[in-house]
Amino acid sequence: MFKKLLTKPYRYFLIIIPILIFLGFLIPLRNIRINPDMTRYLPQETESKLNLEKIEEIFGHNDPIIVIFEADDILERESLEKISAIHDSLTESAIISDVMSIFNTKNIRGEDGFMLVDPAIKDIPEDKAQKEELRKEIKNNPLAYKLFVSEDFRYSVMIINPEKGYSDSEIINTTKNIVNSIWGNEKYYMSGMLYLREEIQQKAMQDLVILMPIALLVMIIFLYFSFREKRGVILPMLVVVISTGVSMGLMPLLGYEFSIIAVLIPILMISVANNYGVHIVSKYQELNATNPNASMEQIVLESLRCVANPVILTGLTTIAGVLGLIVHIMLPAKQTGIVCSIGISLALILSLCFIPAILIGMKKGKVNRSFKEKSRTVIDKILYYMANVTVNKPKRIIIIFLVIFLISFVGIFRLNVSINNEKMMSKSHDIRRSTDIINKHFGGTKYISVLFEGDIKDPAVIDEMNELEQLLKSKEQTGSVTSLSSIIRIMSKALNDKNDEAYDKIPDSREAIAQYIEFYNMSGNPEDFEKFVDFNYTKAIVNVQFKAENIKEYNSILNEIQKFCDNSKYAKYQAGISIVEKDMAMSIINGQIYSLILAMITIILLLWLIFRSFRTGLLGTIPLVFTIVCNFGLMGWAGIELDIATSLLSSIALGIGIDYTIHLFWRIKLEIENKKTLSEAIQICLTTTGRGITINAFSVMLGFSVLFLSGILILKTFAFLIIFSLLLCLVCALVLIPAILMMKPEIIVKNIKLNK
């Protein structure tokens, strides 16, 4: 078949058509943009998303920017004047809906039997005495203290809600321009999902623009030093460029949005797409050295005859591994699995047709010095050493791997799931600093709203809201709980003396509650209640602020609320972006499990079919199982959390890592069928095919290594873990598997008399 395809005029079609396809797929990429909204990574029918939409329909969309101002004493006149000016300027901006700060926070107090609703700061203090009086007032104001001003009066928070219809960048730039022009060089920090989205958008776009050329350059340099021949660089790189362009172009054509992890697609393709061409070129160089009298056509066709089957099989297993992502719950993971599997399929076809079509028309190159006995490279020397060790000390090797496996297995039980999206950024980033400040001084970055339905002025409803508040406030990680119930209790303190029975209590009649609200409206702004109750007083929310470092702490709050809702007549459900984040964390776990199971089953079946032996199929999965356990064990011991990027790790590592074992099996079996002893077969395999496997593996690792330059921390972590995983797969294939075969040679071949 290959001989006919590589004759004229078919050979020209095999070269021209892929180039035309590549150019066509570049057109949809003109308007590429990253969608950093992680709530859209979950299916639309997810319950937490639906509940959040219901609450936002009643109480409005809440996607604020949080600005934290820092000063030695935030109550200093200069600091307060600047915060006031920033508040006023943002309020006047057409792009901002409303601003909440210490300057429009209320102070509900009693005076001569009347309830007064004043601003928390009526006047900026002129002297030290006024400043200390203000400090005392704020400390006694539960609507301001530890909510808008920190306990040590070093920080003040401003919450900025944007108008709809403006982009994240417009909102962020407007806010920054106003704050910078007034606050000057003093410290401030920004936070909020909107700010995080914009930062991810910018950094992901930078990664796409910068990392792709760097990855290509790294690959070019590595291939040149591996093959020492221009064709060894150009031909695999042409396959990489074409298949990567097609994969990226598929995203908009299929209606997929570019997500954060879409940055991985070109890096994955650049790293993997050259795998198959590397084996073609490596075999060509081997035959060129060992058969100097053969023509170029004979060498190319013989190369295809020798490596076509293992290349096809390794391609299928890689595709199977990556396709395991299609059962992932996270939409970007599914999409990555689909477009990358198509791209890898194209790379496989191009390696078997496009590269030979060009190669066969070229002149023979010089013999690579790696095939001269007296001129071995570092890789060659390492492979010779591995061959000797595996043949002579198989038991010792197996014991060492077993000990490492057991240590890693224990580490899995320490593995945690990331529930804090801000950890996508480095520790020095603004958003990480602001998160630390909010968690330490303002009660936490997690927010949940609990919806109550009924006659909200009914004491029974308010009592249940108060009961939930007191329950949650008893939890260590709860920062604040606010609702109409807490406002009613504050008003009861203003209207009653401490010795009165009604002090700090919910009134026992609907009329009394309605009267409290009316008193507030007489002195304050009726719109203040819009954040807690609807216009008809039939729906209200309890807003919960808390901090959670891990899923266990997260669930302790959520489970408490859910238990309360299940036993309540009026509390209906809980909602909030924090619950969506938690569901995303659980989807990461479940998606990892589903994709891993599918990939593993598919690979076992393929190996079974390839080698017609179930035992061989199971043996082939040993490097994969070892790698997965060591990878998750390392994450557990090192405190690396499972996140949206690392959840793709296993399927990708499985798909790529199994290639090394297949090439190894194929060559060992071939040498045994050629009457070589098992030890001879292993030594020949490791010093010939092992070279191609090693070049393949390190080229993939180098491709992923450019992610260390990413501005997104989780992509750097992914780079480290995928390189670690592939290195383990390589070592297992070149050391562990041959050692096992030396102990159990019947696994790899049947009906062949073996001599170790």
Nearest CA among 323, 279, 319 for reference residue 303 = 279
Residue type, 473: K
230-253 and 10-26 helices, crossing angle to 10°: 50
How far from chain centre, in Å, is Cα 466? 38
- Which residues in 704-741 are b (16+ Cβ under 10 Å) and which e? bbbbeebbbbbbbbbbbbbbbbbebbbbbbbbbbbbbb
> How many C-beta atoms lie closer than 10 Å to residue 755's C-beta?
11
pLDDT number for residue 756? 41
Would you put residue 112 in left (φ > 0), alpha (ψ -120 to 50) or beta? left
Residue type, 743: M
88, two tokens:
């006023």
18, two tokens:
């892929």
pLDDT number for residue 754? 38
Could you give the CA distance from residue 721 to residue 715 in angstroms, rounded to a whole number?
10
Residue type, 36: P
**CA 310, 312, 316, 318: dihedral to nearest 10 degrees?**
70
Angle at 729 between CA 724 and CA 731, to 5 degrees: 95
Cα separation of the two ends of the chain: 37
Q: Which residue matches tokens 């070049």?
A: 695
35, two tokens:
């969608």
Could you give the CA distance from residue 278 to residue 699 in angstroms, rounded to a whole number?
9
The most distant pair of C-alpha atoms in the chain lies apart, rounded to whole Å, by 111
Contact 515, 115 (CB under 8 A): no
Domains and CATH numbers, the chain: 2-36+198-413+583-755 (1.20.1640.10), 65-191 (3.30.70), 430-575 (no CATH)
Angle at 622 between CA 617 and CA 625, to 5 degrees: 120
pTM for the whole thing? 0.80
Nearest CA among 500, 621, 478, 465 for reference residue 546 = 478
> How many C-beta atoms lie closer than 10 Å to residue 97's C-beta?
15
Residue type, 106: K
Could you give the CA distance from residue 65 to residue 99 in angstroms, rounded to a whole number?
10
How many angstroms separate the Cα of 507 from the Cα of each of 126, 332, 457, 693?
Answer: 40, 51, 10, 77
Could you give the CA distance from residue 619 to residue 278 in angstroms, rounded to a whole number?
25
pLDDT number for residue 44? 75
Alpha helices in 429-536 (DSSP H): 430-441, 459-473, 484-495, 510-523
User: What phi and psi values does residue 261 have, to the nearest 5 degrees?
Assistant: -80, 0
Nearest CA among 712, 714, 422, 416 for reference residue 547 = 422
Alpha helices in 291-393 (DSSP H): 296-323, 331-359, 378-392
Could you give the CA distance from residue 135 to residue 455 in angstroms, rounded to a whole number?
38
- Strand extents, DSSP E, 547-617: 571-575
Cα atoms in the 13 Å half-sphere on the side-chain side of 718 = 30
Q: What is the mean pLDDT of each run of 10 residues along the chain (756 residues)?
A: 55 79 82 68 79 84 87 93 94 90 88 81 90 92 91 93 86 93 91 84 82 85 79 85 89 81 81 79 78 77 80 83 80 86 91 83 64 60 77 87 94 83 81 90 89 93 93 89 90 86 87 88 78 89 88 86 92 87 78 78 77 75 87 90 76 78 80 81 82 80 87 86 90 87 66 39
Nearest CA among 600, 553, 596 for reference residue 578 = 553
- Which residues in 63-93 are b (16+ Cβ under 10 Å) and which e? bbbbbbbbbeebbeeebbebbbebbebbeeb
Contact 120, 148 (CB under 8 A): yes
Please enumerate in sequence order all residues whose Cβ is within 8 A of that of 220, keeping only pairs 6 or more positions apart, or say none. 233, 237
Strand pairing class (571-575; 478-482): unpaired
Angle at 638 between CA 636 and CA 641, to 5 degrees: 60
Could you give the CA distance from residue 620 to residue 665 in angstroms, rounded to a whole number?
9
Could you give the CA distance from residue 404 to residue 677 in angstroms, rounded to a whole number?
30
Contact 630, 736 (CB under 8 A): no
Q: In the structure, how many helices (H) and strands (E) does the chain have?
A: 26, 10
Q: Which residue matches tokens 């995080």?
A: 196
User: What phi and psi values does residue 94 have, to the nearest 5 degrees?
Assistant: -70, -20
pLDDT number for residue 355? 82
Q: Which residues pair with 34 in a beta bridge?
A: 258
pLDDT number for residue 609? 76
Radius of gyration of the chain (CA): 32
User: What phi and psi values does residue 539 have, to the nearest 5 degrees?
Assistant: -140, 140
